[in-house]
Amino acid sequence: MPEITAAMVKKLRDETQLPMMECKAALKESEGDVEAAKRALREAGKKFMGKRQDRATEEGRIGIFASIADGVGAMVELQCESAPVAANEEFIQLAEDLAKQLATGPGAKTPEELWAQPSPSKKEMTLEDQRDELQNKIREVFRIARLERIDAPAGGFVHMAKIGVLLEVEGGTDELAKDVSLHVAAMNPRATTKEELDPEIVSKERELQKDRARQEGKPENIIEKMIEGRMKNFYAEHVLSEQPFVKDESQTVGNFAKAGGMKLKRFIRWQLGETSSSEAVDAA
């Protein structure tokens, strides 16, 4: 058996952030093979973390990869146990790698399918290997809560790691799509266009506005005309294409997109920790 030197142990310790004695034992078991020792440490950590899977994961971040030129977009919600870990550089990289692989790889319907795929940033490692290595350092549970892929030109934006928007478009540029996604994150519209709003919600709003007009003593013959004006305000509050653009309120988001040669198709907006399914709003 080759000699296990202090330098070898230190090198493995620096690379894995695990206790010296664990690193030394792994090197002895692998007869000095550093890569084999790393694999053994990952497996040991995986078994340890397997016993902690019932722990709550209320923190985390949303990872996004989107490209108009490549005609694809993806979003992944990666959860962890604490806020400091959510801000860890390697955790951020893992979230970004998950989204990139989901967008540019063969796709995945479940977290298990995605974990089994290659890591975009770690050569010769799967995303699961990448996860296990990081979990072994940090000793927190990581969990993919949601994943979504769009097989069409898309843009995206993440606000403070906790609100993510994926936007399907036709035409335009990545920067333009990112600006609209930023708007969606900030203003949380219900639908992309007026036609997509739930007819029941629109009907209830119309009746509400009629009742208000009657209470104001308005004559019946002008109430309908008044309602149309008031409904514009309702649409401007809830419909993406009708909302004043956050970066320039002198124009609507629809006009901003149109001026850049971009058609808005649908958006998906997530907030970290939501229990509801993802919202995807199709354009007419």
Domain-located, residue 229: yes
* 155: CATH: 3.30.479.20
- pLDDT tens for each residue of the chain, 284 residues long: 678 888 888 888 888 878 788 888 888 888 888 889 888 887 777 776 676 777 889 999 999 999 999 999 999 999 999 999 999 999 999 999 999 999 999 999 999 999 999 999 999 999 999 999 898 888 899 999 999 999 999 999 999 999 999 999 999 999 999 999 999 999 999 999 999 999 999 999 988 988 888 888 888 778 888 888 888 899 999 999 999 999 999 999 999 999 999 999 999 999 999 964 444 455 53
SS3 content of the chain, % helix, strand, coil (to 5): 50, 25, 30
- pLDDT for position 277: 40
Residues 212 and 261 occupy one common structural domain: no
Domain encompassing residue 209: 198-238
- The number of beta carbons lying within 10 Å of the beta carbon of residue 284 is 8
Domain-located, residue 206: yes
Residues 82 and 103 occupy one common structural domain: yes
Contacts of 63 (CB under 8 A, 6+ apart): 75, 76, 78, 95, 96, 97, 98, 99, 100, 158, 164
Domain-located, residue 68: yes
Going by the DSSP 8-state scheme, the letter that residue 239 receives in this structure is B
- pLDDT for position 99: 98
- pLDDT for position 131: 95
Residues 125 and 263 occupy one common structural domain: yes
Measured at the CA of 98, the angle between CA 97 and CA 103, to 5 degrees, comes to 95
Residues 215 and 234 occupy one common structural domain: yes
- The number of beta carbons lying within 10 Å of the beta carbon of residue 282 is 12
Domain-located, residue 12: yes
* 220: CATH: 1.10.286
pTM for this model (two decimals): 0.80
Domain-located, residue 248: yes
Domain-located, residue 67: yes
Residues 20 and 44 occupy one common structural domain: yes
Question: What one-letter code names the amino acid at 241?
Answer: S
Domain-located, residue 72: yes
Residues 251 and 227 occupy one common structural domain: no
Residues 130 and 265 occupy one common structural domain: yes
Domain-located, residue 1: no
Tell me the CA distances in angstroms from 281 to 128, 189, 190, 239, 267, one per residue in order: 32, 10, 8, 11, 6
- The number of beta carbons lying within 10 Å of the beta carbon of residue 246 is 16
Residues 221 and 131 occupy one common structural domain: no
Domain count, the chain: 3
Residues 156 and 188 occupy one common structural domain: yes
Residues 231 and 140 occupy one common structural domain: no
Contacts 24+ apart (CB under 8 A), 121-127: 121/93, 121/96, 121/97, 122/97, 127/94, 127/97, 127/98, 127/101
Residues 255 and 230 occupy one common structural domain: no
Residues 161 and 258 occupy one common structural domain: yes
